[in-house]
């Protein structure tokens, strides 16, 4: 479907079960994807995502590799649009849509998952009360400061702590490489 408006129109015509998929690689250059996400949430028609990044078209590059701020703004809309910001209860489909032409596919997926977690964590730490006040006062400068403060906060230590608490590898790519995961998988598959 050529654009999100047509996708929304078709989903509305098809009924309550029809939803829209947002593929981050299928938008015109400089498209305001976060606004699309917001509108689809408002209409109850956001079904899910194909997370990736793009430069020239549907390149299917590593999530957040080129536009991490846009990814963060998308997660801001998701957190804002889902009660309590708990995306695990959103009902959205979450997929990584990547093409592994130059990277080990599992390393690329690990990088993509990390970018998604970072963007989500940054969106969760936005001071929503202050942001709402700035928006009500039409104070674009204050709103930008609030948004950029959360984006510029390094949440990687929090993610590492969460991994440690759950028994996961603190540095997933290092673990993957040090334990020869790819080589072991290749041997297992023959």
Longest dimension (CA), the chain: 63
Can you tell me whether residue 92 is helix, strand or coil? coil
What residues contact 107, with CB distance under 8 A and at least 6 apart? 173, 176, 177
Whole-structure pTM value = 0.92
CB atoms within 10 A of CB 54: 18
DSSP string, 121-165: HHHHTS-HHHHHHHHHTT-HHHHHHHHHHHHHS--HHHHHHHHHH
User: Within 29-104, where are the H helices?
Assistant: 33-42, 68-81
User: In tens digits, what is the pLDDT along the chain, a chain of 190 residues?
Assistant: 778 899 999 999 999 999 999 998 887 778 899 999 999 999 999 999 999 988 887 788 899 999 999 999 999 999 999 988 899 888 899 999 888 778 899 999 999 999 999 999 999 999 999 999 999 999 999 999 999 999 999 999 999 999 999 999 999 999 999 999 999 999 999 8
| CA atoms of 161 and 113, how far apart (whole Å) | 16
> What tokens were used for 80?
């804002």
Give the closest residue to 80 by CA, choosing from 18, 23, 143: 143
Crossing angle for the helix pair 156-166 and 105-124, to the nearest 10 degrees: 110
């Amino acid at each position: 479907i050529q654009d999100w408006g047509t996708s929304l129109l078709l989903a509305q015509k098809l009924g309550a079960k029809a939803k829209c998929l947002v593929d981050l690689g299928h938008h015109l250059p400089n498209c305001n994807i976060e606004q699309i996400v917001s509108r689809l949430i408002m209409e109850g028609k956001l079904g899910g995502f194909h997370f990736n990044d793009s430069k020239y078209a549907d390149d299917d590059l590593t999530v957040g590799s080129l536009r991490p701020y846009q990814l963060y703004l998308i997660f801001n809309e998701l957190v804002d649009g889902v009660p309590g910001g708990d995306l695990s209860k959103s009902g959205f489909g979450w997929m990584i849509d990547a093409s592994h032409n130059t990277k080990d596919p599992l390393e690329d997926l690990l990088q993509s998952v990390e970018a998604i977690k970072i963007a989500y964590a940054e969106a969760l730490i936005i001071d929503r009360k202050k942001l709402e006040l700035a928006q009500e006062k039409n104070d674009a400068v204050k709103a930008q400061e609030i948004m950029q403060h959360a984006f510029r906060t390094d949440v990687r230590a929090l993610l590492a702590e969460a991994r440690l608490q759950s028994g996961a590898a603190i540095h997933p790519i290092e673990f993957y490489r040090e334990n020869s995961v790819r080589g072991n998988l290749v041997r297992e598959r023959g």
